[in-house]
Amino acid sequence: MKTLRRLMFAFAGAAAAAAAGLAAGAAAPAYIVAALANADRPADDQKRDAARKPGDVIAFAQLKPGETVEDLIPGTGYYDRIFAGVVGPKGHVYGFYPTELTNFRKVQLPPTGATPDPKFPNFTAVTASVNDFAAPAPVDVVWLSDNYHDLHDPFFAPADLAKINAAVFKALKPGGTYLIVDHAAEKGSGLRDTNTLHRIDEASVKAEVEAAGFTLVGESDVLRNPADDHTKKIFDPSIRGETDQFVLRFRKPR
């Protein structure tokens, strides 16, 4: 009976962690848990938490209340709404919207200074060409989730990764974090699959980012999936939402 109860508690704990966007058995700071539980987050966002594990990834990035974060290519704003709760009213979230995406969005890009989601007033937009990436003020974290590979693709041409990574370096405070999440490609494949499978060899990411002066200070396995053989498009129904992803934390030297 005691064994059964322990199993039931373990199952309940794993379910609660998944619902909070955390790996089973993981613990995140209270301010991250509160940001994930914010009732103003859309239901569709909350449904994605179990797979994306935002609590774990944000904790790994070491984003804290009062800090400033800039999200390069925010997409739907999924992470930005969580960031807004994490950094709180004394912090700020900038979403950098590249104008190269104008023709790929169903809604118009927000103009610089606009608030993309009025429920999160400490989240504002910066809109410009991706090669002109910049921050309105020095930031603690620059975040790039599942889109680094896209910067190598034709629809972002003429994206210049060396220039962009250098701009990220400039935007960060000394000791600041550059956090990159992306879909893993086969080892040794380099940039081969960025425009076909929408994956990238993490070794290429490391080489490009370190060339800009960053130091790799951490890697997380929280989004790893050994069942993904890296041969399918990330949109393939058999793997979509469950791809093998690497999470890299780079630091700008102090």
**Cross-strand partners of 71:** 95, 143
- Vertex 164, ends 180 and 111: CA angle to 5°? 90
Q: Which residues contact 158 (CB under 8 A, 6 or more apart)?
A: 131
Q: Contact at 8 Å (CB) between 67 and 50?
A: no
How far apart CA 156 and CA 160 sit, in angstroms, is 9
- Two structure tokens written together for 70: 């800039």
pLDDT of 22: 58
Q: Contact at 8 Å (CB) between 100 and 123?
A: no
- Vertex 199, ends 198 and 202: CA angle to 5°? 155
Q: From first to last of the 254 residues of the chain, give the pLDDT tens digit.
A: 444 444 333 444 444 444 556 564 557 899 999 999 999 999 999 999 999 999 999 999 999 999 999 999 999 999 999 999 999 999 999 999 999 999 888 889 999 999 999 999 999 999 999 999 999 999 999 999 999 999 999 999 889 999 999 999 999 999 999 999 999 999 999 999 999 999 999 999 999 999 999 999 999 999 999 999 999 999 999 999 999 999 999 999 99
- Two structure tokens written together for 141: 């974290």
How far apart CA 165 and CA 53 sit, in angstroms, is 26
